[in-house]
Chain A
Amino acid sequence: MTGMQVIFLINALVSVLAGIMLATSRKLIHAGLWLILTLFGVAIMFGLLEASFLAIVQGVVYIGAIAILIIFAIMLTRETMEESHGKRTRWILTSIVALITLAGILLALLTWPQSSSLTLPLSEEQQSIAELGLALVDPERYLVPFEVASLLLLAALVGAVYVAVERKGEEK
């Protein structure tokens, strides 16, 4: 067992435990903090897959923006910060559904022939961020998806402001 594998196992254990805490926590704000830990674990996974740039983006976008946005939303809707767990039968039923999903995916994985293939280390060129940046603005490669993504972000920004803004005379 190599060092990378030990790091992977520890990180997977921490992330899955944080995910379980997230799924079972009663207080919404605690769930938000457990979500941050899980997302951090995913960022470490990206690092282990030798995608350093994406690991940083995961940290900045998910932890820095989305998780903080979720925590802000929790605080803005604070009268519902605690949630009752609801009916027990509902929890048992949904756990069964989730376990069946997991078992299905794992079964598909086990019957898949290539699932244990190893890989070659990446070359210097493939890991360089400069290469990625050039590919993003090259009309022959990824310029169109890049521009469409920026348009989507702009539309989401305008839409979010339009929906969330408080208008006068609309309060009930």
Chain B
Amino acid sequence: MIPLSWFLVFSAVLFSLGAFIAITRRNTIFILMGIELMLNAANINLLAFWRYLHAPAGDMDGLMFILIVFVAAAAEAAVGLALIVSAYRRRKTVIANELDTLKG
């Protein structure tokens, strides 16, 4: 069997990569990709903990948790990309630094 810690290390690496992308990039679509990567890393953690600590007891909370995260991620991606397309149509840019109408 694969040790639980392998999954946790993998998801930690994936999370750091997602955080790196979300901080470094200025393109809003790139930032969204980083957020998706971080959500995926969290999902691996949830499923691994469920599989190793709770599945033997027979409950399904972990699976439900991940399904809800899927739904939230899909909603977030749909609304986020709609906002990006809408902002692009008005301002002709998707660079986060240039979307500064609210700047005082």
Chain A residues in the interface with B (C-beta under 8 A) = 2, 4-5, 8, 12, 15-16, 19-20, 22-23, 28, 31-32, 35, 38-39, 42, 45-46, 48-51, 53-54, 57-58, 61-62, 65-66, 69-70, 72-74, 76-77, 79-80, 83, 86, 90-91, 94-95, 97-99, 101-102, 105-106, 109, 114-120, 122, 126, 131-132, 135-136, 141-142, 145, 149-150, 152-153, 155-157, 159-161, 163-164, 166, 170-172
CA distance A39 to B51 in the complex (A): 20
Closest B residue to A86 by beta carbon equals B26
Contact call B44/A45, Cβ cutoff below 8 A: yes
CA distance A132 to B9 in the complex (A): 28
A79 / chain B contacts, CB cutoff of 8 Å = 92
Contact call B51/A50, Cβ cutoff below 8 A: yes
Contact call A49/B51, Cβ cutoff below 8 A: yes
CA distance A153 to B75 in the complex (A): 6
Interface centre among B17, B66, B93 (most CB of A within 10 A): B17
B64 / chain A contacts, CB cutoff of 8 Å = 135-136, 142, 145
Chain B contact surface mostly: helix
CA distance A142 to B72 in the complex (A): 16
A101 / chain B contacts, CB cutoff of 8 Å = 15-16, 19
Chain A contact surface mostly: helix
CA distance A29 to B103 in the complex (A): 30
Chain B residues in the interface with A (C-beta under 8 A) = 1-10, 12-21, 23-27, 29-30, 32-33, 36-37, 40, 43-44, 47-48, 51-53, 55-56, 58, 60, 63-64, 66-68, 70-79, 81-86, 88-90, 92-95
Contact call B2/A74, Cβ cutoff below 8 A: no
A38 / chain B contacts, CB cutoff of 8 Å = 14, 37, 40
CB distance from A82 to the nearest CB of B (A): 10
B17 / chain A contacts, CB cutoff of 8 Å = 16, 19-20, 22-23, 98
Contact call A8/B2, Cβ cutoff below 8 A: yes
